[in-house]
Every structure is written in C-alpha cells, then in structure tokens.
C-alpha cells in the first residue's frame, strides 16, 4: 500500500526486529554446523594420516619379509648345489670294481 509516494509498512519496527533475530539465530546455527563439519573433517583427515602411516609400516614389513624369503630361497638353492657337489665327490672317491657295469 502506498501513501504520498511512500510505502506504508504493516508491522513496522517489531516485524523487522523479529526477522533480524530469526536471521541471527539461523546464522549462528549455520556457523555451529560449519564448525562441527570442520571438526569432523579434521578428525577424518587425522584418521587418514594415521591409516597412511599404518599402511607404510605394513609395506615396510612386507618388503622386509620379501627380502627374507628371497634370502631363504637362495640359501636352499645353494644347499641343493652343495649336496650335489658332495654326492659327486663321494662318487668320485668311492672304490669301484672295474668289472661291474656303471648302470
């Protein structure tokens, strides 16, 4: 409604105060919600960093285990070679009867 070129506001100052109070309340609630979300995200980030460190430790242990397995397998191959050499030396030093066939 217009009167003399000016708008007449129904409710006036009290309505404006109530709306402002509602906006301030909503703003404060949104600030609180944002703070809670940031805290949750910070907790998640810290958890992810902890999990990454744990994964790194597991990878280090797996690398160490793999090196140990490789060393064990190499030692087993060397043992097989030594046993073969020992058998060959025993066969060479064993007394043989020239009259008996080799097979």
Domain boundaries, the chain: 10-93
Distances (CA, A) of 53 to 37, 45, 65, 66: 24, 12, 18, 20
What's the confidence (pLDDT) of residue 26? 96
pLDDT along the chain (103 residues), means of 10: 57 83 95 91 89 96 97 97 96 84 73
φ and ψ at 2, to 5 degrees?
Answer: -115, 140
Q: Do residues 38 and 32 touch, judged by C-beta distance below 8 A?
A: no
What's the confidence (pLDDT) of residue 67? 96
Q: Do residues 55 and 62 touch, judged by C-beta distance below 8 A?
A: no
Q: Tokens in use for 77?
A: 């191959």
What's the confidence (pLDDT) of residue 10? 60
What's the confidence (pLDDT) of residue 43? 86
What's the confidence (pLDDT) of residue 35? 92
Q: CA 64, 65, 66, 67 torsion: positive or negative?
A: positive
């Amino acid at each position: 409604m217009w009167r003399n070129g000016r708008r007449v506001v129904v409710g006036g100052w009290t309505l404006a105060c109530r709306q402002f109070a509602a906006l301030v309340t909503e703003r404060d609630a949104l600030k609180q919600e944002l703070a809670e979300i940031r805290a949750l995200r910070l907790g998640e980030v810290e958890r992810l960093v902890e999990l990454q460190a744990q994964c790194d430790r597991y990878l280090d242990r797996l690398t160490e285990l793999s090196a140990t397995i490789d060393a064990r397998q190499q030692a087993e191959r060397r043992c097989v070679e030594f046993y073969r050499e020992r058998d060959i030396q025993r066969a060479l030093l064993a007394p043989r009867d020239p009259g008996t066939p080799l097979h």
